[in-house]
Amino acid sequence: MDFLTEVSTFTYEAGPVNYDEFPPTEEPVYLMGTPYSTLYDLNELKLDFLSRIWLTYRKNFPAIGGTGPTLDTGWGCMLRCGQMMLAQALLNRHCGRDWRWTRKKYDEKYRKVLEMFLDKKNAYYSIHQIASMGVSEGKNIGQWFGPNTVAQVLKKLVVFDEWSSLVIHVAMDNTIIEHDIKCLCKPGYEKTTCDILGMNSMKAGATGCSSRAKPQDKNKSSHVDPSKWKPLLLILPLRLGLTDINAVYIESLKKCLSFTHSVGIIGGKPNQAHWFVGYVGDKLIYLDPHTTQVSVDLNDHLSNDDSFHCPHPCMMNILELDPSIAVGFYCGTESEFDDLCTTIRKFITCESRTPMFELYQDRPPHWPPYEPYSGKFPSSSEFAVLDGTGCETDDEFELIG
């Protein structure tokens, strides 16, 4: 296949890309909530993986800020991983999880999503926008991001995307608060039932294994209607160990990738960030942004989108994972969010003595009031540009909690 041959010639800065293949095994392969058998569903599995939007280092794009970097090699890998997670949420939003990419076949919604991530300043989620907005999080242009930083930046950028009507909630302190999210996603909810100060928690007591979760209404439509529920990308930054991942969290981590709401995990290993999309056994399946490609303008009739899709997975042992990660979930409707909460309670917060994170219905009474992001954009005068290519280490992973 010509496309496979073309992609396999891409290189890292230091040598050839090391691709893997899906192994023949009796164990199921999970790809963001979808189970496959490599013995019976291999072609379907490969097509699902190929259909993910692959965003890598690029070169020869317009200078960021007018005078800044024209490539992101060496500093942009976490930014690219954040882009990939968000791109998947937008594909789920506009095309559906079952959508599949077909080479040389034009798909209007898919193309519109992809164009949001092109390397030019007027694209909503370009490297230019992310790097510039990073200044509001204390990151100079050209500086390496951690998983929490890229999540906070994307949360600020998404408010300008009126077509998607997507909201991003970054759940801090290893804790998801249901009412905070419903205040954010459900128009009018905060005026009637939102427990801003956690008074319901004070009265009834808040526990991660609360039985108050409502069962999912199977008759509810899965159709996305932003007037009733704004589609949600929930990002949960976590630190699962000091220098190495604590083995007690491994099963919970794999469970998250098996949820139908999953849009993967951003994290990596020292000096490299990856977007993890699934697992088989104790191997994590991921897309690697550390390939430097020439920037593409899809408006050029000679260009195509082949370089945004990778046919070969990369894999690594889950114990090699850096303990600082951010887990992502997409919920297009309120019923999907309710189902996610029920699933988390069943498999994460109630099953483990040391849960990977907590889920509460109401805010703990000692927490400050919830304040959704206002959407204020920093002025361009605040942006700064680094002379070099930026940080070469992963020291910017955040310690949460």
Task: Burial-class residue 331 by CB neighbours within 10 Å (0-12, 13-18, 19+).
Answer: buried
Query: Which H or E element spans position 77?
Result: helix 77-94
Buried b (16+ CB within 10 A) or exposed e, 104-133: eeebeebeebbbbbbbeeeebbbbbbbbbb
209 given a catalytic annotation: no
* Residues 6 or more apart whose Cβ sits within 8 Å of residue 138: none
The CA distance from 363 to 334, in Å, is 19
Helices (H), 267-392: 334-344
If we measure between CA atoms, which residue out of 265, 242, 393 comes closest to residue 323? 242
Catalytic member of 72, 288, 322, 338: 288
Residue type, 316: M
Catalytic member of 77, 95, 183, 194: 77
290 given a catalytic annotation: yes
Sign of CA dihedral 173, 175, 177, 182: positive
Name beta bridge partners: 268: 273
Helices (H), 136-208: 147-157, 178-185, 189-192, 199-204
Query: Are 147 and 267 a contacting pair, CB within 8 Å?
Result: yes
Catalytic member of 180, 290, 310, 314: 290
Residue type, 223: H
Task: Burial-class residue 166 by CB neighbours within 10 Å (0-12, 13-18, 19+).
Answer: buried
366 given a catalytic annotation: no
Query: Are 124 and 161 a contacting pair, CB within 8 Å?
Result: yes
DSSP tag of 325: E
φ, ψ for residue 366, nearest 5 deg: -85, 0
Query: Which H or E element spans position 7?
Result: helix 2-7
Query: Which H or E element spans position 88?
Result: helix 77-94
| Residues forming the active site | 77, 288, 290
